[in-house]
């Protein structure tokens, strides 16, 4: 079986975000970059399937130079092959343009039996790229998967929905978007880190995929980030000292919740 995992390399969720540029991008100075957490579930699932049934795991990212660091980490965790499509500045934030590049990369690197991605790339959180790649590749797509079984020529996938679960079957090849709970991602081992250093990362440009990146981000662009705003600063909290008079503090808490916060 051949597995492909789409991996976005994104700002660490613990980063302190500042707005930079023309007010429509974040200031990338001092940001730590990580594999998007939902993509870690996708990668872990592909590696487990390979370990159980044999096969090969290819990881693909589309983005600037730093993406290679993320791919190296994927190789250290157990991926076999890594493809870096360099670029992304012109198409930043445009899910359809990104999906066109990734779909073309999957086609060039494949064929694959199963393509996995995260349910969302943290940072922009649009949950669009996976479905768009599936549509462009003309394969079925199951999103938000928390349990996956792959059989001969088909898969069974489970999703959590409000108050219950949904179970889907789909023929292979198929694209699955992983959700939290699918598995517990592993950390790279020292042996894996050493082995990963010997695997060359294949580096492509959108032009190698027959795509004009300037056009994708220009005349053919479908969306742009116009403006970013940080949430309003939070007011300081109220501390009730309950050590000397717990009953009085509880009365005051109830009063504040009822009359000020209007929460009860
Ligand atoms: C400030 C900032 C800088 C960023 N820099 C990078 C970067 O250097 N490299 C990078 O890869 N991403 C980067 N990202 C993330 C990237 O821009 C987003 O993944 C992209 O905009 C798609 O977002 P989305 O919400 O439409 O993706 P979603 O539709 O939410 O993504 C769903 C899934 O699609 C796949 N996917 C999405 N984008 C990519 C991609 N570019 N490559 C491979 N798989 C992908 C992932 O599996 C992801 O979980 C950055 C995001 C921000 C906010």
**pLDDT-based confidence at 157, cuts 50/70/90?**
very high
**pLDDT-based confidence at 16, cuts 50/70/90?**
confident
Question: Is residue 41 in contact with ligand 1, taking CB distance under 6 Å?
Answer: no
- The alpha carbon of 31 and the centre of ligand 1 are apart by a number of angstroms equal to 15
pTM comes to 0.89
- The alpha carbon of 243 and the centre of ligand 1 are apart by a number of angstroms equal to 49
- Confidence at residue 234, expressed as pLDDT on a 0 to 100 scale: 79
Helix boundaries (H) for 78-183:
95-109, 129-137
Question: Is residue 38 in contact with ligand 1, taking CB distance under 6 Å?
Answer: yes
- The alpha carbon of 9 and the centre of ligand 1 are apart by a number of angstroms equal to 7
Pick from 88, 117, 129 the residue to mutate for probing ligand 1's pocket: most ligand atoms within 8 Å of its CB. Answer: 129
- The alpha carbon of 89 and the centre of ligand 1 are apart by a number of angstroms equal to 12
Instruction: Give the C-alpha separation, 10 to 89, whole Å.
Output: 14
- The alpha carbon of 8 and the centre of ligand 1 are apart by a number of angstroms equal to 4
Candidates 113, 108, 107; CA nearest to 150 is 113
Pick from 3, 8, 61 the residue to mutate for probing ligand 1's pocket: most ligand atoms within 8 Å of its CB. Answer: 8
129: Cβ contacts below 8 Å, ≥ 6 apart? 6, 8, 95, 98, 99, 102, 117, 121
Question: Is residue 90 in contact with ligand 1, taking CB distance under 6 Å?
Answer: no
**pLDDT-based confidence at 13, cuts 50/70/90?**
confident
HSE at residue 163, side-chain half, CA atoms within 13 A, is 0
- The alpha carbon of 170 and the centre of ligand 1 are apart by a number of angstroms equal to 26
Question: Is residue 134 in contact with ligand 1, taking CB distance under 6 Å?
Answer: no
Rounded to 5 degrees, φ, ψ at 220 are: -95, 5
Question: Is residue 124 in contact with ligand 1, taking CB distance under 6 Å?
Answer: yes
pLDDT digits (tens, 9 = 90+) for 61-95: 999 999 999 999 999 999 999 999 999 999 998 99
Walk me through the domains of the chain, giving residue ranges and CATH numbers.
2-217 (3.40.50.620), 237-264 (no CATH)
Give the closest residue (by CA) to ligand 1 atom 50: 10
Sign for the CA dihedral angle at 180, 177, 89, 78 comes to positive
Candidates 73, 98, 79, 101; CA nearest to 5 is 79
CA 17 distance to own-chain centroid? 18
Give the rounded percent of residues in the chain with a pLDDT score beyond 70.
100
pLDDT (average), residues 151-180: 96
């Amino acid at each position: 079986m051949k597995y492909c995992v789409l991996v976005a390399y994104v700002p660490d969720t613990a980063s302190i975000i500042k707005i930079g540029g023309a007010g429509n991008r974040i200031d990338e100075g001092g940001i730590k970059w990580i594999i998007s957490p939902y993509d870690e579930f996708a990668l872990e699932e592909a590696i487990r399937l390979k370990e159980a049934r044999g096969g090969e795991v290819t990881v693909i990212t589309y983005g600037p130079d730093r993406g290679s660091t993320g791919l190296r980490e994927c190789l250290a965790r157990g991926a076999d092959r890594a493809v870096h499509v360099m670029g992304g500045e012109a198409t930043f934030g445009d899910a359809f343009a990104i999906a066109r590049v990734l779909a073309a990369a999957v086609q060039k690197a494949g064929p694959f039996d199963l393509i996995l991605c995260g349910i969302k790339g943290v940072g922009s959180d649009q949950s669009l790229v996976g479905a768009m790649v599936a549509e462009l590749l003309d394969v079925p797509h199951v999103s938000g998967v928390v349990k996956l079984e792959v059989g001969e020529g088909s898969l069974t996938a489970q999703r959590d929905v409000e108050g219950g679960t949904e179970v889907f079957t789909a023929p292979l090849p198929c694209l699955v978007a992983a959700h939290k709970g699918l598995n517990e991602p592993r950390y790279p081992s020292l042996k894996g880190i050493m082995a990963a250093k010997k695997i060359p990362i294949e580096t492509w440009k959108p032009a190698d995929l027959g795509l004009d990146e300037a056009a994708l981000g220009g005349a053919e662009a479908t969306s742009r980030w116009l403006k970013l705003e940080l949430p309003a600063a939070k007011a300081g909290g109220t501390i009730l000292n309950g050590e000397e008079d717990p009953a009085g503090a509880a009365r005051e808490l109830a009063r504040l919740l009822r009359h000020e916060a209007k929460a009860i």
